[in-house]
């Protein structure tokens, strides 16, 4: 193995996701005890937890906090955002919508999307809607969204990463938006949007959101980081930002310096 030929020990092994932990743990065993091992997201099925020096995991995971385990509200997400001098759409407000999809027995249904789009159209009148689905979004939902887009001029962007090889316009959608609407089935999507000092409206229910996602969405709303979808376009004072990424990076940097 190439790794066995390395003469210098890395100062840090940083891994993320439940599936990558066994590999990262193996890497740790190949180096000396001076290599610090940090993992993001608790690896429930691994037998080598003690190999890890520090684990960051979302609070809704059913894991007790300890010296080795730090619980966070939300998950780390990209922080970069493009700077714009002028928004390209004259019709306001500009609403960017991120849609998740199915996971396990939880299914995103057409009536949820119809409700979300109908309510949004009723409230924005002559505004602009930018939509991005995800790779988990089922084909019937993608077709439904496209159908809405063909009969309404307010849809300025409709992007499906599942069947589109072009560059994802997510950064532009974040920069242009006055408000965000997001389905509550993805902790990463919701966490990312709660970083930008713009109102985040979450649509969620038990039919397409697991119990941990429900718990997460309710916690964000109760703590003032997000708002229920039904509050779309209502005035929001003192929007709180979810600084999970900054908090984790600050902790990691304090360890390896």
Query: What are the tens digits of pLDDT across the range 167-213?
Result: 999 999 999 999 999 999 999 999 999 999 999 999 999 999 999 99
Place of tokens 């059913």: 62
The pLDDT value recorded for residue 4 is 57
**Bond prior to 93 in cis (omega within 30° of 0):** yes
Query: What are the tens digits of pLDDT across the range 135-154?
Result: 999 999 999 999 999 999 99
* Adjacency order of strands within the sheet including 36-40: 12-16, 36-40, 54-58, 69-72
Answer CATH for 94-231 from 3.40.50.620, 3.20.20.70, 3.40.800.10, 3.40.50.2000: 3.40.50.2000
The pLDDT value recorded for residue 14 is 92
Residue 5's pLDDT band (cuts 50, 70, 90) = low
Contact at 8 Å (CB) between 179 and 233?
yes
The pLDDT value recorded for residue 177 is 96
Give the residue among 224, 228, 200 at the shortest CA–CA distance from 214: 228
Contact at 8 Å (CB) between 94 and 178?
yes
Residue 22's pLDDT band (cuts 50, 70, 90) = confident
Give the residue among 27, 70, 20 at the shortest CA–CA distance from 43: 20
Residue 26's pLDDT band (cuts 50, 70, 90) = confident
Point out the least confidently predicted range of 12-21, 35-44, 78-87: 78-87
Give the residue among 102, 99, 75 at the shortest CA–CA distance from 183: 99
Domain regions of the chain by residue span: 2-72, 94-231
Query: What are the tens digits of pLDDT across the range 49-103?
Result: 888 899 999 887 888 888 889 999 988 888 777 777 778 898 999 999 999 999 9
Q: Which residues pair with 223 in a beta bridge?
A: none
Length of the chain: 257
């Amino acid at each position: 193995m190439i790794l066995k030929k390395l003469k210098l020990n890395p100062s840090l092994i940083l891994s993320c996701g439940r599936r990558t932990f066994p590999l990262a743990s193996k890497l740790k065993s190949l180096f000396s005890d001076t290599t610090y091992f940090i993992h993001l997201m608790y690896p429930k099925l691994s037998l080598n937890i003690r190999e890890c020096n520090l684990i960051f995991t979302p609070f809704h995971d059913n894991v007790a906090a300890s010296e080795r385990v730090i619980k966070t509200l939300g998950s780390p997400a990209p922080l970069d955002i493009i700077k714009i001098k002028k928004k390209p759409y004259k019709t306001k407000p500009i609403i960017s919508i991120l849609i998740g999809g199915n996971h396990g027995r939880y299914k995103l249904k057409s009536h949820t999307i119809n409700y979300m789009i109908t309510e949004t159209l009723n409230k924005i009148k002559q505004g602009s809607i930018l939509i991005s689905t995800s790779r988990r979004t089922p084909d019937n939902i993608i077709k439904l969204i496209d159908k809405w887009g063909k009969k309404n001029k307010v849809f300025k962007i409709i992007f499906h990463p599942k069947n589109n090889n072009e560059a994802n316009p997510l950064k532009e959608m974040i920069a242009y938006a006055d408000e965000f609407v997001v389905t509550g089935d993805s902790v990463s999507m919701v966490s990312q949007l709660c970083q930008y000092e713009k109102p985040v409206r979450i649509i969620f229910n038990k039919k397409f959101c697991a119990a941990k996602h429900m718990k997460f969405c309710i916690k964000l709303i109760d703590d003032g980081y997000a708002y229920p979808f039904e509050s779309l376009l209502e005035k929001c004072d003192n929007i709180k930002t979810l600084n999970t990424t900054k908090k984790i990076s600050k902790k990691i940097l304090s360890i390896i310096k």
